[in-house]
Structure 1
Amino acid sequence: MSASVTLGVMSIAEALAPAPPAGGYTLVIFVDGALALGAAAASALGDAAGLIPRAAEAASFKGKIGSALDILAPAGLAAQRLLVLGTAPDKEGEKVDYLRLGGLTVAKLGKAKLARILFDFASAPEDAAAAASDFALGLRLRGYKFDQFKTKKARKDDSENGGPVDLKIAGADGAAIAGIQGLADGVDLARTLVNLPPNLLYPESFADKAKELEKLGVEVEILDVPAMEALGMRALLGVGQGSKRPSRVVIMRWNGGSKDAKPVAFIGKGVCFDSGGVSLKPGAGMEDMKGDMAGAACVTGLMHALASRKAAVNAIGAIGLVENMPDGAAQRPGDIVAAMSGTTIEIINTDAEGRLVLADVLWHVQDAYKPAFMIDLATLTGAILVALGQEYAGLFSNNDELAQRLTEAGTKSGEKVWRMPLGPAYDKLIDSKFADIKNTGGRHAGSITAAQFLQRFVNDTPWAHLDIAGTGMAAATGDLNQSWGSGWGVRLLDRLVKDYYEKPE
């Protein structure tokens, strides 16, 4: 479990020390499009620098980002292997993407178990600390793997699981690298929660894992079924009543800001397994429904990240944890339930359950904590996949400033969002003949009507809804992620808090 990559910071001299007795190491250096070396790399290689232009000519290596020269047993070096990575951007005039470069470095290292990386460039970055931080984060993100359920033999035989385990970075800002560790750990936590099987991750065990954040100074309150019944959370409880696993709501509080500052609030859908209930899903692919709690995983990972770096903000993370199962006690299409707000809801489809969970948690958070804003994350609708695929999460909001800030944070973090419309005309699709509202408006505008449903439970609080059905699980693999569970949203929301809501000391 967790990241396979561990990071350390060392001096240039330490990086070039002879290989340890246990075995050799890979020396990693960088060149630009002209194959120019940084000062430290040039000094480290000495006469061995002449290997690079000869090998580059033979391999047609032009120093482009994503390309590599792999020189084994380089003469004159203690390293067993010299790995030369290009840094020239794909497009002329484009800046080096150090986050991506970190991910590519891990990919090119392959099965190496020990590497010493000279973070040293011919053209120094404008902000060296930020570049080092991004690079180190890229190393950690790409290095994550989830193999705890593979036997030792399976792990040994699976080449995809053979990644570097110990990376030492020389020539980089140690404080900058240390600063990303908590964020990377938060992403790792979110990924692992999504990857865990539903027989091990269910409402009670998920709540226990959230409780572990108390070690970082997070206040954690767990609401059990009697507590939720007392609050009137009948929409949430209705979803879980067909499962033998009792539902839970977890409230996590990080108090890093001033006492009188309103908290910022993040709410996550945590359907630990979604069978569809009585409106049963097709059997093919149902195993993926263990990931229907990716929103709750993100919120938990975010709270870990904020607490780890002692963020100067008051933050609330609230997650509704349920299983949606179809036994004899399960709710039925045609049932009417009363949400905590008093709104009555006609159940049309028991597979439109996430919005019922979020409705009660959103209402509770806005009513009890009076936050500055609320952002919910949910693998809510297949319709958002049809609209946006896996490149963007759908963004719905009642507040233009919050929506714009989320969009900007998404561009900076690489976890992109695309704003979708809301409007009174869509409310007609979820009007009910028998109750105040029904839980689905049918196929047309499915992601929008789901957001319209949620908007009924936020009052005037600035609010944004992120539909992460395309980004939170079964994620597309790339330079920064090779995991089924992506941990999507932790970096986005951490960046949002850091850029706009965190007050410096």
Structure 2
Amino acid sequence: MKFSIGRIGEARILPVLKDTVPQGMEELFAYLKERELFSGAKGEIFFDLGLHGSNTLLVGLGEADKLDAQAYRQSFYKAGTEAAKARLTQVTVDLPKFPQICYRTAVKAAAEGLYHSAYRFDKYLSQEKKKPVLEEVAFQIVAGTEDKVTSALAEISNILDGIDLTRSLVNEPAEAIYPETLAKAAQEALTPLGVEVEVKGLEEIKALGMTAFLAVARGSAREPKLIIMRYRGASEDQETIGLVGKGLTYDSGGYALKPAASMAAMHTDMGGAGAVIGAMSAIAASKLNRNVTAVVAACENMISGEAYKNGDIIRSMSGKSIEIGNTDAEGRVTLADAIYYTATKENVSSIIDVATLTGAVIVALGSHYTGAVTNDQAMMDEFKLASDLGGEKVWQLPADDDYRDMVKGKRADLLNSVKGGAGSITAGLFLENFTEGKKWIHLDIAGTSAYDAPHGYRPAGATGIPVQSLYYFCKGDNDQTRCC
């Protein structure tokens, strides 16, 4: 979707607070109130479209004292959906300034809601089955805000392009996205933005001693790839943030074979990889004054005579041994080497790993919150501020020695699967063993990475979570008490 300032098309979108009347529309609003057609409640829509209509789409923002970025996202998502139903491809948004919310924040949130309404993954549909979408939006803005709005639209466009990249990668079937093509997609998307993308193949991965990663990968005929993406927006003496994404481009469960119904969606098991690639796109396009390195250990978890087995004891790059209680708990095994590599070879000061790691997090939090485990509360507090800015909910899970003891093994140093519940917590704390003492956050996005049906202002399929949170965390300066 293309955003600009000015006017475009014949129709306009006008946001309205609950029980308020825009200047010059008193007669229309008296009519709407009398017939109870529109009051400005959040997400409420009235479209005066037609030969003799005003071609105005009224969208309610809700009550003034509850006005926030989420209200804009949700309401403009509905407005965009209605505009598409009317087969509009261009529309102008008349955006008034309300004192309850920063104008720049309002512009970004409105643009985001409209973008989400227009996203489609329909490349495999025949042309006649594709639905029309809103393509261009112009903002008619308050005088004197041009510079603020221009920078806001540029930033949110870069973020949305990153989300679009993540969604498109995660929504692709496993026959289209596998380790080699995922690496190629990262190169094609990021290299033009100034990101150095290094791809290591099988022999180089062996030379690094990434035996845990290779144990998972060896059941597949497709060669694994280690994808390293380096963005340098600050001087060399500044710290580097590390992002690690789970890169299982397909997960059959291995010898702990998944049922068919569960297996069909396992092309989305690289949601963490997609998220860090999308975040790197947004970071580089916005030219953030930060150094960020992202790492993805990409492979498939399949069954063959070479595949690793339940009951195996394998070594990791760190030297720690892992007893495999469940080959379907493979993501943490690949991440063990990816995190250790990032901590020891890429000179990072902190690490955030992102993974569709456990069904347990869905049991605990459903699809509304990403689960988080950390070893550094100050870092976690900063990440929560970033996630609030992006409208991506995060819930911090407890992490103490009672849970850490659960992943300790008797036949090996660590267990990749434990009994006793708390599956999302123990999976996260398993990974802590490979951070080498670096500040670290683990994000379990199994419930939030992709939806079976539309929810809120996000459509079905890949959501792009947590691209925005990662972007704002890397950007820093997440003070929401001032107008940014």
1:68-87 C-alpha deviation (Å, 9 max, x unpaired): 1121226485xxx3212222
Which range moved further: 107-116 or 185-194? 107-116
Q: Match of 1:120? A: 95
Following the alignment from structure 1 to structure 2, what is the Cα–Cα distance between the partners of residues 123 and 428? Answer: 52
From 81, 98, 118, the equivalent of 1:107 is: 81
Q: Say whether the 8 Å CA contact 1:313–1:501 is kept in structure 2.
A: no
Per the alignment, do residues 381 and 118 of structure 1 end up closer, same or farther by CA in structure 2, a change over 3 Å counting? closer
Equivalent position of 1:191 in the other structure: 167
Q: Percent identity?
A: 33
TM-superposed deviation, 1:135: 1.4
Distance change >3 Å, CA 232–CA 190, structure 1 → 2:
same
Cα gap change, 1:50 to 1:230, in 2 (>3 Å): same
| SS state at 1:292 partner | helix
Q: 1:86 to 1:445 in 2, by over 3 A?
A: closer
Residue 135 of structure 1 corresponds to which residue in structure 2?
110
The answer (yes or no) to whether the contact 2:45–2:79 under 8 Å persists in 1 is no
Matches for 1:191-230 after TM superposition, within 5 Å: 191-212=167-188, 213-230=190-207
After TM superposition, list the pairs within 5 Å mapping 1:223-262 onto structure 2. Answer: 223-262=200-239
* Equivalent position to 2:283, from 291, 297, 306: 306
* 2:122 matched residue in structure 1: 147
The 5 A counterparts of 1:313-462 are 313-442=290-419, 444-462=421-439
Taking structure 2 as the reference length, the TM-score comes to 0.92
Amino acid at match of 1:118: V
Task: Indicate if the aligned counterparts of 2:40 and 2:60 stay in contact, CA closer than 8 A.
Answer: yes
- Rounded Cα–Cα distance in structure 1 between residues aligned with 2:177 and 2:76: 31
Matches within 5 A, 1:278-297: 278-297=255-274
In structure 2, what is the equivalent of residue 171 of structure 1? 141
Between the aligned partners of 1:118 and 1:239, the Cα distance in structure 2 is: 50
Deviations 1:100-157 (A, max 9, x none): 33323212323232343233327456532222122112222332111000011222xx
Rounded to whole Å, the distance in 1 between the matches of 2:96 and 2:327 is 56
The residue number in structure 2 matching 1:31 is 16
1:460 alignment partner, SS class: coil
CA distance in 1, matches of 2:201, 2:97: 58
Partner of 2:157: 181
CA displacement 1:335-376 (0-9 Å, x = unmatched): 221110011112121111001110001001110123121000
TM (norm. structure 1) is: 0.88
CA RMSD across the alignment: 2.1
| C-alpha contact 1:390 1:475 (8 A) present in aligned 2 | no
1-structure distance, mates of 2:372, 2:434? 17
| Cα distance change, pair 328–122 in 1 and its aligned pair in 2 (3 A) | closer
Counterpart residue type for residue 309 of structure 2: R
2:133 partner amino acid: G
Q: Does structure 1 retain, via aligned residues, the 8 Å contact 2:59–2:76? A: no
> Per-residue deviation at 1:500?
4.2
Q: Is the 8 A contact 1:320 1:357 kept in 2?
A: yes
Question: Equivalents in 2 of 1:33, 1:448: separation in Å?
Answer: 43
1:94 paired with 2:66, answer yes
2:14 aligned partner, one-letter code? I
Q: 1:230 to 1:86 in 2, by over 3 A?
A: same
1:483–1:284 Cα change, 3 Å = closer
Does the 8 Å CA contact 2:361/2:447 hold for their aligned counterparts? yes
Structure 1 residues 501 and 234 mapped into 2: Cα distance closer, same or farther (>3 Å)?
farther
Unaligned runs of 5+ in 1: 20-24, 43-47, 156-160
Contact 1:30 1:87 in 2 (8 A): yes
Letter in 1 for 2:174: P
* Equivalent residue pairs, number: 469
Give the counterpart letter for 2:73 in structure 1: L
Q: What SS does the corresponding residue of 2:65 show, helix, strand or coil?
A: coil
Mapped to 2, the partners of 1:281 and 1:94 lie a distance apart of: 44
- Give me the whole-angstrom Cα distance separating, in 1, the residues matched to 2:391 and 2:399: 25
Whole-Å separation in 1 of the counterparts to 2:30 and 2:84: 23
Shift of residue 496, structure 1, vs aligned partner: 1.5
